[in-house]
Amino acid sequence: METLVQDIMQTSWLEAIAAITGILSIWLGKKENILVFPIGIISVLIYVYICFNAKLYADMGINAVYFIMSVYGWYNWLRPHKESKTERLQVTFQDRRHRWGSIAIAFALFVILSFILTRFTDSDVPIIDAFTSSLCVLAMYLTTQKKVENWIYYLVADGISIPLYIYKGLVLTSIQYLVFFLIAVAGLIAWRKEALKNA
């Protein structure tokens, strides 16, 4: 406990801003609030820098991908969707074909990232870094599509990330991922209810 408090006291203001905006972004996502994307962009850009310094290269790259996906998600949530009753993107479930396709793409990304991190970087956690990063990319893409399943992938990735960031000495970020995990539980419940109503 003493070490935990000491690590929190040594947290940089940059990590604090990244953690706070990250938590706010996920909470806004649960509420289906469009501000999820601009607030999330602030967080991911800071985390690109933080992850580079922590030698979490896959996480660094994933945060860069998050930036691109956040811009796309912002556009996709706002643009008219003629197939929707409200002309705005609605929360839905993935169909079976898309679900298996998403898992296959995440697995392929995991294999590629594992190879790159193991062979070409000095990462001391290449497999875990690649696994969580692959899940988060899939989850972020599904968020841009308002698919309920995004929360399931976030739950798994967040659960693994909590001890990973403690190991890396980024305690505040670890606490952030604990909050992410709890918000993801609430998000899964809320979005599932919404998707059933839309169906």
Q: How confident is the model at residue 167 (pLDDT cuts 50, 70, 90)?
A: confident
pLDDT tens-digit readout, 146-157: 999 999 999 999
What is the token pair recorded at 118?
A: 């193991």
Query: Is residue 102 situated within a structural domain?
Result: yes
What does pTM read for this prediction? 0.84
Query: Is residue 86 situated within a structural domain?
Result: no
Mean pLDDT of 25-52: 92
Angle at 118 (CA atoms; ends 157, 44), nearest 5 degrees: 40
Coil, strand or helix: which one is 127?
helix
Single-letter residue type at 115: F
Query: Is residue 88 situated within a structural domain?
Result: no
Using the structure block, give the residue that is written with the tokens 């606490």. Answer: 175
Report the number of distinct structural domains present in the chain: 1
Find the largest Cα–Cα distance for the chain. Answer: 56
Mean pLDDT of 20-39: 92
Q: How confident is the model at residue 111 (pLDDT cuts 50, 70, 90)?
A: very high
Range of the domain at 153: 2-81+93-198
Cα 133 from chain centroid (whole Å): 8
Query: Is residue 87 situated within a structural domain?
Result: no
Q: How far apart are the first and last CA of the chain?
A: 47
pLDDT, residue 19, reads 84
Residue 30 φ then ψ, to 5°: -60, -35
Measured CA to CA, the distance from residue 159 to residue 174 in angstroms comes to 10
Measured CA to CA, the distance from residue 59 to residue 70 in angstroms comes to 16
Q: How confident is the model at residue 176 (pLDDT cuts 50, 70, 90)?
A: confident
Query: Is residue 25 situated within a structural domain?
Result: yes
Measured CA to CA, the distance from residue 62 to residue 51 in angstroms comes to 10
* Count of beta carbons in the 10 Å neighbourhood of residue 121: 14
Measured CA to CA, the distance from residue 98 to residue 95 in angstroms comes to 6
Is-contact 138 110, C-beta < 8 A? no
